[in-house]
Structure 1
């Protein structure tokens, strides 16, 4: 973990682009609530195969104009170099200086991955096309990518993204801090030392959490799963338990010297804000190294 302690901490929140006018109105309220704690940036997701491209662009530019740096997710799956370059030029022209570069997922039924097959190829293309215009974030998987052949291959894949020009990384969410610590230790032995910021998923709904976790390969520890099952439809108890579990995990991570936290908000403000306040992040930042 020593390599991570050298980096200045940053805190961020992730949104997905809303589909409806009602969703846009809700996101504006959420954005205003989260902007009140002065995060370093927001990020906005990009649907499988670019399926939310236009909504992602609209959401990113709208949020960015409101005063807090906003980073679009950019996927190479299903796209061409020309279409990626078009987006990069658009973002550059609008003052965007951070990109979350991902391989992305293929929509159901799509057989071709596009001209750029992997995230390291996307990172390399961004650097070739835009130089140092963008701070490039990439994904990290402490519990390993669900499609990775094995742990060693996954670590090598991450290293390729760094070698291609990635500045920093955001992890898939996890509930076991040791998985993150072990991942960082392995990276240090490979001399890979960019900031790797833990992704944090507040717990608000058990069935949704199980569905998301099964898709992305995030492990829900048995003791957490059993306790959430015991609460059944008692949403207040699930929320309270979730806040306690995630706050405790975040505290352990911060105490160990992680370079920040990235909250997966699912377009909700209160779950992340509550954890933020329990941790006293605003006060902590005043003395952050």
Structure 2
């Protein structure tokens, strides 16, 4: 894939006629107030007709009830498919099978299968449950043996921080796909060149599932930088310069964040990428604004504009 510099945002009509697709990640609310905000977020983002909403899952099922409630809320409130996350951390194979069955009984047909972060955070070493799945590839195989689910998995354009090498990382993705994964969603990144190189390497290995870019709108630059350091994502100098001095100016930071993410997605779209997954942090404002900047809006609005 040939890399080009980030280009200015252009109207959708200047690209081909294929409308880009979006999906959104959410996490279960912890308080009634947060739950109300989450419902508002779901309703607003649903107007963009996303491909799906995914809902995160705490280690060892620590948010099992909340995850299920959030998935139920999505299915009851909006006509958008919902995907439930599932991780290996702290879960036996029996626990996993029980959760898969719970998803099935709820009508959930799409599972996001992840190894999961170590208990206590990324600074700690991952230790598989003695009666559980050793890694995400094994988890995918287990889910696939239990039913005909759509299965999304994680991908890492700049290598998983715990992988011994890029090749080992690619081999793990290959194992996930061989075991039944149907889509890969990337860790967030800000350097599109890293994504292009990654896709080239993935395709060179004969892996042909969609590699969906994970996009994180920046609501707090310092916090994003801290997380990027832990997960190995590069923060380009140009990004540092754009957010410099905005720590106490949240409104300007939002405007810059929307522009930065829209530019990144527009450049990827210019290279033929058509599906983007947004890590929303349960906030609709930035993700919604970015999508509208890119020409994604309620169909009634798009028709009127046309």
TM-score exceeds 0.5: yes
* SS of alignment partner, residue 239 of structure 2: helix
Structure 2 gap segments, 5+ residues each: 3-15
Provide runs of 4+ in structure 1 moved above 6 Å.
Answer: none
Task: Give 1:40's aligned residue.
Answer: 51
Are 2:119 and 1:102 equivalent residues in the alignment? no
After TM superposition, list the pairs within 5 Å mapping 1:128-147 onto structure 2: 128-130=145-147, 132=148, 134-147=149-162
Q: Secondary structure at the match of 1:39?
A: coil
Does residue 71 (structure 1) correspond to residue 80 (structure 2)? The answer is no
Structure 1 residues not aligned, in runs of 5+: none
Q: Over aligned residue pairs, what C-alpha RMSD do you find?
A: 2.2
**Is 1:93 the counterpart of 2:105 in the alignment?**
yes
Any conservation in 1 of the 2:154–2:187 contact (CA below 8 Å)? Answer: yes
Decide whether the 8 Å contact of 2:153 with 2:176 is kept in 1: yes
Corresponding residue for 2:9? none
* 1:23 aligned counterpart, secondary structure: helix
Shift of 1:28: 0.5
* Cα pair 2:20 2:296 within 8 Å, conserved: no
For residue 244 of structure 1, give the secondary structure of its aligned residue in structure 2.
helix
Moved more, 86-95 or 270-279: 86-95
- Rate the CA distance shift 1:8–1:144 in 2: closer, same or farther, 3 A: farther
Question: How far apart, in 2, do the equivalents of 1:107 and 1:49 lie?
Answer: 9
CA distance in structure 1 between the aligned counterparts of 2:227 and 2:27, rounded to whole angstroms: 14
> Residues 266, 13 of structure 1: CA spacing in aligned structure 2 closer, same or farther, 3 A cutoff?
same
Q: 1:262 aligns with which of 252, 255, 277?
A: 277
CA shift at 1:273, angstroms?
Answer: 0.5
Q: How has the CA–CA distance of structure 1 residues 156 and 220 changed in structure 2, closer, same or farther, with 3 Å as cutoff? A: same
Deviates more, 1:227-236 or 1:146-155: 227-236
Match of 1:219 in 2: 234
1:55 aligns with 2:66: yes
Q: Trace 1:1-289 onto structure 2 (pairs within 5 A).
A: 1=1, 10-66=21-77, 67-108=79-120, 112-114=127-129, 115-130=132-147, 132=148, 134-282=149-297
Deviation for aligned residue 1:12: 0.5
Checking the alignment, whether the CA contact within 8 Å between 2:228 and 2:234 is kept in structure 1 is: yes
Q: Which stretch of the first structure deviates more once superposed, 54-63 or 272-281? A: 54-63
C-alpha displacement of 1:18: 0.7
Q: Is the 8 A contact 1:140 1:158 kept in 2?
A: yes
Distance (Å, rounded) in 2 between the aligned partners of 1:277 and 1:239: 14
CA separation in 1, counterparts of 2:125 and 2:34? 28
Name the TM-score, length of structure 2 as normaliser: 0.86
Residues 117 and 126 of structure 2 are in contact (CA less than 8 Å); yes or no, is this contact kept in structure 1? no
- How many residue pairs get aligned? The number is 280
Cα distance, 1:188 vs structure 2: 1.0
CA distance in 2 between partners of 1:61 and 1:232 (Å): 37
TM norm structure 1: 0.91
State the Cα deviation string for residues 6-46 of structure 1 (Å, max 9, x = none). Answer: x9963201111111111111101111111111111100111
Q: Is the 8 A contact 2:59 2:88 kept in 1?
A: no
Check the 8 A contact 1:77/1:117 in 2, yes or no: no
- In structure 1, what is the equivalent of residue 11 of structure 2? none
| Alpha-carbon contact 2:160-2:169 (below 8 Å) kept | yes
State the shift of 1:180 in Å.
Answer: 0.7
Alignment check: 8 A CA contact 1:49 1:106 kept: no
Name the CA distance, whole Å, in 2 between partners of 1:244 and 1:201.
12
